[in-house]
Amino acid sequence: MNTFSVPSDANVTPSPIKLDDIDLEIIVTLKRDGRTPFAQIAQRLGVSTGMIRQRYQRLLREGVLQVVAVTNPLLLGFSTMAMIGIKVEGARLNDVAEKVAALEEVIYLVLTAGAYDLFAEVVFRDNAHLLDFLTQRLRTINGIRETETFMYLKIVKEIYSWPDTTNNEQRITNNG
């Protein structure tokens, strides 16, 4: 399973990785089209293909980039998607989060501030699968106080990258 790791101490924020213009341009290019050949990136930036390959490997190793195949759950037979808000008993948060994260139907899990301690994004074959998950698996985890399920009716926006806060995308669009 590909996941970005989170420190066990929720108060610790990882330090940003130092990236130069070449790193940033590799990232922006691959965000647009993850299959862009290294040779094409190298030619546009005026550097060697080997340099792009090395930089790419370093970005993977340091956790800046992650390569995954993004699938459409509906085309794979999962017709039901939902977000589940989970309230947890006091000191059990990390333990409950680990157990919920281990459930195969959970595709995204976050610790939150607010009415719920956790939000879990989940996918199911159908409503019967969801019902079984809620009653036979999720509710049996010690430390879960309450859940609320928010069924997805329609996904309006779905993206897999964050906005570029360095204005590199604008610079590449204007210069590249």
Enter the tokens of residue 99: 């157990």
- Tell me: pLDDT of 173 over 60: no
What digits encode the pLDDT tens for the residues 109-136? 999 999 999 999 999 999 999 999 999 9
Tokens of 62: 């340091």
Q: What CATH number has the domain spanning 73-151?
A: 3.30.70.920
When pLDDT is cut at 50, 70 and 90, the band that residue 16 belongs to is confident
Residue 171 banded pLDDT, cuts 50, 70, 90: very low
Euclidean distance between CA atoms 168 and 159, whole angstroms = 19
The two structure tokens encoding residue 100? 């919920």
36 against 10, higher pLDDT:
36
Domain segments of the chain as ranges: 21-68, 73-151
| Per-residue pLDDT reduced to its tens digit, 52-70 | 999 999 999 998 998 888 7
Can you tell me the mean pLDDT for 69-98?
91
Residues, the chain:
176
Architecture of domain 21-68: Orthogonal Bundle (1.10)
